[in-house]
Amino acid sequence: MTRWLSCAALLGALVSAEMASGHEPDALPAIHGEFSVELQHDRGVGRVDSDLFATVELGLRARLSPAWSLETDLVLEPVRDPEPGESRVFEDHGLVAESLVLRWQRKGARLRGGKLTPRFGIAWERAPGIYGADFAEDYELSERIGFEGGIALGLGTFGEHAFTASVFAPDAGFASGAPSTFALAVDGSGFPWARGLSTHVAFLQRASGHGSPETGLALGISLERELPRGFWIEPLVELVTLESTATGSVRYATFATELRRGGVSLAASFSSRDRDEADARSSERLGQLSLGYELDSGLGFALAFRRAREDGRLSNGVGFQLSYRFGF
């Protein structure tokens, strides 16, 4: 707990120094945000099970000064996955604050502390299609309590790189003592010899209840390129490994691509999840194809077909998604 209090005291001192530094605000304080709602219906092919649910997100950012802001993301969504063969209609929803952070940012440097999502992996956030991120969401580090710092550097021919370091604990672990996990990430973009290329490398180490720490490595790459006749294509590849000498390893792979023209998008992806753990071994696969259309007003529609092998079972499914989003 002493380490947590020291970090919090340092953050508080930086806030006080900045607020007293005499910077002239530009129409501050100011509040900005984004609201989105998704209605999704998943249904098995040749089966009677179905799942109709909503995902509602509200992101708010209050700018307190040119450098300081308070940010939060509130999410209403299902809190558990349906059991095999189970049908649901707007059941098991819960409201959570996925993030609540105080952020300082000046030029290329940034600090933030509170409830946050540390940087590890990109496919859980960027894989296209209704089901493109289903496996990758396993390693999303959401709802962690901790601190994060980063700096962005321009390296000329080697592009621009953002270096990020995080130290954190699970949401429920804040009162248990010092942070038990850290993550390091490097995100690259702006390569003059490869326009549209972006890279991601991240390392994770976290304590486990088995006496042996778990380590993780994420390698991601994507490329956004313009094609003739107004088309854009964006392929994405990510490989992630989580290993522990006590429990074994889990390996993830995501291969995805999205083709866009105007508001129309076609996304295809293939994901794998291979477990080699002390008590179980499994190989799971998921392929999906999505077709979507988003209007300038923020209203969107999407249809998808998925084929998966999970828990030793082969299944097919279809999904429909209606979405709406706007910023303010």
| Cα-Cα-Cα-Cα dihedral sign, residues 9, 205, 123, 56 | negative
Segments in 101-259 forming alpha helices (H): 123-126
53-77: burial string, b at 16+ Cβ within 10 Å, e else: bebebebbbebbbebbbbbbbbbeb
162-178: burial string, b at 16+ Cβ within 10 Å, e else: bebebbbbbeebbeeee
Residue-averaged pLDDT of the chain: 89
Name the band, by pLDDT with cuts 50, 70 and 90, for residue 188. very high
Cα dihedral 154, 155, 160, 163, rounded to 10, equals -90
**Which pLDDT score is estimated for 224?**
97
**Which pLDDT score is estimated for 277?**
80
User: Quick check: 3 pLDDT over 90?
Assistant: no
Q: Give the whole-angstrom CA distance, residue 320 versus residue 328.
A: 27
Q: What percent of the chain lies above the pLDDT cut of 90?
A: 75
Q: Give the whole-angstrom CA distance, residue 108 versus residue 183.
A: 20
Q: Give the whole-angstrom CA distance, residue 240 versus residue 120.
A: 9
**Which pLDDT score is estimated for 179?**
54
- Residue 17 DSSP SS3: helix
Q: Give the whole-angstrom CA distance, residue 64 versus residue 57.
A: 23
- Residue 194 DSSP SS3: coil
Which burial class, exposed, middle or buried, applies to 16 when counting CB atoms under 10 A from its CB (0-12, 13-18, 19+)?
exposed
Give the residue-averaged pLDDT of 241-252.
90
Give the residue-averaged pLDDT of 179-205.
93
- Quote the strand ranges of the chain, DSSP E: 30-44, 50-63, 68-78, 88-89, 93-106, 109-116, 144-154, 160-170, 181-189, 197-206, 214-223, 225-226, 232-244, 248-261, 264-277, 281-294, 299-310, 313-327
Which burial class, exposed, middle or buried, applies to 280 when counting CB atoms under 10 A from its CB (0-12, 13-18, 19+)?
exposed
Of 94, 30, 33, 105, nearest to 68 (Cα)?
105
Q: Which domain holds residue 177?
A: 2-22+31-327
Name the band, by pLDDT with cuts 50, 70 and 90, for residue 28. confident
Give the residue-averaged pLDDT of 135-148.
95
**Which pLDDT score is estimated for 75?**
97
CATH number for the domain that contains residue 317? 2.40.160.10
User: Quick check: 17 pLDDT over 50?
Assistant: no
Cα 153-154-155 angle, rounded to 5 deg:
110
Q: Which helix or strand (DSSP H or E) is residue 138 part of?
A: none
Give the residue-averaged pLDDT of 1-25.
44
User: Quick check: 292 pLDDT over 70?
Assistant: yes
HSE on the CB side for 15, CA within 13 Å? 16
**Which pLDDT score is estimated for 286?**
97
Q: Give the whole-angstrom CA distance, residue 105 versus residue 67.
A: 5
Domains in the chain, number:
1
| Cα-Cα-Cα-Cα dihedral sign, residues 190, 162, 123, 104 | negative
Taking only the tens place, the pLDDT of each residue in 293-321 is 999 999 999 999 999 998 788 999 999 99
**Which pLDDT score is estimated for 209?**
62
Taking only the tens place, the pLDDT of each residue in 274-291 is 999 877 789 999 999 999
Give the residue-averaged pLDDT of 185-196.
96
pTM: 0.86
**Which pLDDT score is estimated for 170?**
72
Taking only the tens place, the pLDDT of each residue in 218-242 is 999 999 999 999 999 999 999 999 9
